Amino acid sequence: MIDGKKILFSGMQATGNLTLGNYLGALKNWLTLSDEYECFYSVVDMHSITIRQDPAELRKRARNLLTLYIAAGLDPKKNCIYYQSHVSGHAELAWILNCFTYMGELNRMTQFKDKAAKHADNINAGLFTYPVLMAADILLYQADVVPVGVDQMQHLELTRNIAERFNNIYGEVFTVPEAYIGKVGAKIMSLQDPTKKMSKSDENPNGSIYLMDDPDTIMRKCKRAVTDSEGCIRYSEKQPGIKNLIDIYSACTGKTPDETVREFDGKGYGELKPAVGEAVISLLKPLQEEYARLSKDKAFIDSVIKENAEKANYYAMKTLRKVQRKVGFPDRIRS
């Protein structure tokens, strides 16, 4: 608890450009959480180097992502928006937790298997212990809740196991975090293959709408979206392409899928597609404008980076010192 509020932690990697799927599925919902929770939103740059990165590019993307958090409406006074690498406690706690995690547990992580297969020339130890760093992120702030997608559930489950194991040995040190199950964000699928999630690492750029796409690009991608030959607008698993367009339109306009279906009753795909394009364009316009404005305000972004790193560090250190004491590291000598 911080000031009577439960603590929430989440993070995103600054690799790839964020898509409409990331926004509607995650970022947009984060906004509604900061009244209820004390929120920590990290740009997890330390996780990013488990895959080889271009340094200048990583630095740029990390700053862009942090700026985007704010442009999306997260108030950096209320939410702790910071770089993981600016708080050394993440690495220090990760080391300790590594000693409380079994090889067998990490061997079962499906994301490790996927990534190892994709990057067979660089299966480094960091990629293997990635979930332990993630556990450290969460436990360092004594987070009660963690909003994550299904792809991260296995890592969260591991985090809970590590926390419980540690607590069993040393007493109640860590809060055991729960997955945040709130109003679930819309699950947006690829425009080119509506059976696959819209992804920032999709090889086909037409499948994803990126948050910084210009209006013409957005419209073109929506018009080219893969549909079917049924020719009627129904919200059905049998028409995944149309269902996805209905979901996007609904999420952008705040309507329910039913309302959207009624609105397009008797109309064709030729009307639905540009309407989806327009809805996405108007949703993203204020975000893009705010992003452009903030990107130019170097002093402001710098101050957010500095102040929030200090805040994060303060809470991180409280946990870290307690953990270090529990495992038997000698006390520091103060003069």
Residues marked active site are found at 115, 197, 200
Span from 3-11, 101-109, 220-228, 234-242 in contact with ligand TRP (CB under 6 A): 3-11
Span from 9-17, 58-66, 195-203, 288-296 in contact with ligand TRP (CB under 6 A): 9-17
The 3-state secondary structure of 143-172 reads CCEECCCHHHHHHHHHHHHHHHHHHHHHCC
3 state SS of 183 = coil
Asked if residue 197 binds ligand TRP (CB under 6 A), the reply is no
Query: Smallest gap, in angstroms, from Cβ of residue 19 to ligand TRP?
Result: 13
Binding mask 284-323 for ligand TRP (x = CB under 6 A): ----------------------------------------
For ligand TRP, which is the closer residue by CB, 11 or 240? 11
Token reading at 79? 């939410």
Which residue from 7, 8, 13, 112 is in contact with ligand TRP, where contact means CB under 6 A? 13
Beta carbons within 8 Å of 293's beta carbon, 6+ residues apart: none
Asked if residue 152 binds ligand TRP (CB under 6 A), the reply is yes
**For strand 80-83 and strand 145-146, is the pairing parallel, antiparallel, or unpaired?**
unpaired
Asked if residue 198 binds ligand TRP (CB under 6 A), the reply is no
Query: Smallest gap, in angstroms, from Cβ of residue 313 to ligand TRP?
Result: 17
From edge to edge, which strands make up the β-sheet containing 37-43?
80-83, 37-43, 6-12, 145-146, 178-179
Token reading at 128? 């293997």
Token reading at 174? 């860590």
Asked if residue 10 binds ligand TRP (CB under 6 A), the reply is yes
For ligand TRP, which is the closer residue by CB, 79 or 260? 79
- Please give the residue whose beta carbon sits closest to ligand TRP in the complex: 11
- Which position has the token pair 């609105």? 263
Which residue from 43, 81, 134, 252 is in contact with ligand TRP, where contact means CB under 6 A? 134
Q: Where are the beta strands (DSSP E) in the chain?
A: 6-12, 37-43, 80-83, 145-146, 178-179
Asked if residue 137 binds ligand TRP (CB under 6 A), the reply is yes
Chain positions 17 to 56 lying near ligand TRP, rule: CB under 6 A, are 44, 47
Span from 10-18, 221-229, 243-251, 304-312 in contact with ligand TRP (CB under 6 A): 10-18
Say how many Å lie between the first and final Cα of the chain, rounded: 31
For every residue of 285-325, DSSP letters joined together read HHHHHHHHHHHH-HHHHHHHHHHHHHHHHHHHHHHHHHHHH
What is the Cα–Cα distance from 80 to 71, expressed in whole angstroms? Answer: 14
For ligand TRP, which is the closer residue by CB, 10 or 190? 10
The residues of the shown chain that bind ligand TRP, judged by CB under 6 A, are 9-11, 13, 44, 47, 134, 137-138, 146, 148, 152
